[in-house]
């Protein structure tokens, strides 16, 4: 592996994604939408994908279009490996190259005690959050001819046990492990693989999950801000870290999962 010295490159050039082709899964709303927006702002051409095809199209058409950058959208369910391959091929066709893949799509449906967990529920969680993320990375790596970066959305619950959400927490532990294994296998291909692990972030998905808890009397606003900084995270808090991870600023990082948690893990 040649020694890459970035010392002489200007800071603005190191975070620029000008000319790069990117894919974001689950990009129709929440963290994925914010990621698509920052990647586009940094100059990448972005294929916004989601199982909600209309939502993906809405986001793609609202992204900033810079010099040479253009954006597309596609309906992609990450449990459909063929569709993941088509998305990767389309990126190469439309933008000339695939450099960045952000696997953000994931589910966290209402859950309960592990002792009551049904097989279908466990299967669904692992199929979307783990197999979908694994297959996406495989399809992306097969098309990253000039190397690239893959970022997987994990969670702080991928680092510790969490009562009542065992299947989700297990799936995110798997994403942390997957990230290490793919980093090992893809390094010779010039592909870095990183995880990003948010604490609670105010997104449409989280609001849906919080509704019954709010109706049961939980102070949702206080629960969401339970971190060392004492404020609720917003999607762009995560998107800025994803931007760092995919940029050349992070050229010496691979295999690790970066917490975006306002100190929530440190304070446990």
Q: Which residue from 48, 88, 130, 153 is in contact with ligand NAD, where contact means CB under 6 A?
A: 153
Q: Which residue from 45, 91, 155, 170 is in contact with ligand NAD, where contact means CB under 6 A?
A: 155
Only one of the segments 87-95, 194-202, 215-223, 251-259 lies at the binding site for ligand NAD (rule: CB under 6 A); that segment is 194-202
Polymer length in residues for the chain: 268
**Dihedrals φ, ψ of 144, to 5°?**
-85, 80
* Six token digits for residue 131: 């197999």
CB proximity list for 115: less than 8 A, separation 6 or greater:
none
> Within 10 Å of residue 121's Cβ, how many Cβ atoms?
15
With contacts defined by CB under 6 A, how many residues of the chain interact with ligand NAD? 31
What is the residue-wise DSSP string for 77-89?
A: -TT-HHHHHHHHH
As a whole number of angstroms, the distance between CA 35 and CA 247 comes to 13
As a whole number of angstroms, the distance between CA 6 and CA 115 comes to 52
**Whose Cβ is closer to ligand NAD: residue 18's or residue 207's?**
207
Per CB under 6 A, 104 contacts ligand NAD: yes
Closest to 197 (Cα-Cα) out of 158, 230, 240: 158
Name the active-site residue from 95, 108, 159, 168. Answer: 168
Our answer to whether residue 168 is catalytic in this structure is yes
Q: Which residue from 21, 22, 24, 32 is in contact with ligand NAD, where contact means CB under 6 A?
A: 32
Per CB under 6 A, 31 contacts ligand NAD: yes
Q: Which residue from 20, 21, 23, 30 is in contact with ligand NAD, where contact means CB under 6 A?
A: 30
State the minimum distance, in angstroms, from the CB of residue 252 to ligand NAD.
Answer: 25
**Whose Cβ is closer to ligand NAD: residue 16's or residue 209's?**
209
> Within 10 Å of residue 196's Cβ, how many Cβ atoms?
26
What string marks each residue from 45 to 84 as x (binds ligand NAD by CB under 6 A) or -?
-----xxx--x--------------------xxxx-----
Tokens 């990126």, residue located? 91
Closest to 192 (Cα-Cα) out of 205, 180, 208: 180
Catalytic residues: 168
Interface positions with ligand NAD (CB under 6 A)? 25-26, 28-32, 50-52, 55, 76-79, 104-108, 128, 132, 153, 155, 198, 200-201, 203-206
């Amino acid at each position: 592996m040649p020694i890459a010295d970035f010392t002489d490159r200007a800071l603005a050039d190191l975070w620029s994604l000008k000319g790069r082709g990117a894919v974001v899964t689950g990009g129709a709303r929440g963290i994925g939408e914010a990621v698509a927006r920052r990647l586009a702002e940094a100059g990448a051409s972005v294929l916004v994908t989601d199982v909600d095809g209309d939502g993906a199209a809405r986001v793609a058409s609202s992204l900033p279009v810079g010099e040479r950058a253009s954006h597309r959208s596609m309906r992609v369910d990450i449990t459909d490996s063929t569709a993941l391959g088509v998305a990767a091929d389309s990126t190469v066709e439309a933008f000339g190259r695939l450099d960045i893949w952000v696997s953000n799509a994931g589910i966290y449906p209402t859950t309960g005690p592990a002792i009551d967990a049904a097989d279908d529920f466990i299967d669904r969680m692992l199929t979307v959050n783990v197999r979908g993320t694994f297959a996406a990375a495989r399809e992306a790596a097969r098309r990253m001819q000039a190397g690239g970066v893959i970022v997987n959305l994990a969670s702080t619950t991928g680092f510790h046990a969490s009562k009542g959400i065992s299947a989700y927490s297990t799936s995110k532990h798997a994403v942390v492990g997957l990230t290490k294994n793919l980093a090992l296998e893809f390094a010779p291909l010039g592909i870095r693989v990183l995880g990003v692990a948010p604490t609670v972030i105010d997104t449409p998905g989280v609001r849906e999950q919080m509704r019954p808890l709010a109706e049961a009397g939980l102070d949702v606003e206080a629960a969401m801000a339970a971190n060392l900084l004492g404020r609720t995270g917003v999607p762009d808090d995560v998107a800025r870290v994803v931007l760092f991870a995919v940029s050349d600023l992070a050229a010496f990082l691979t295999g690790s999962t970066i917490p975006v948690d306002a100190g929530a893990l440190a304070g446990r």
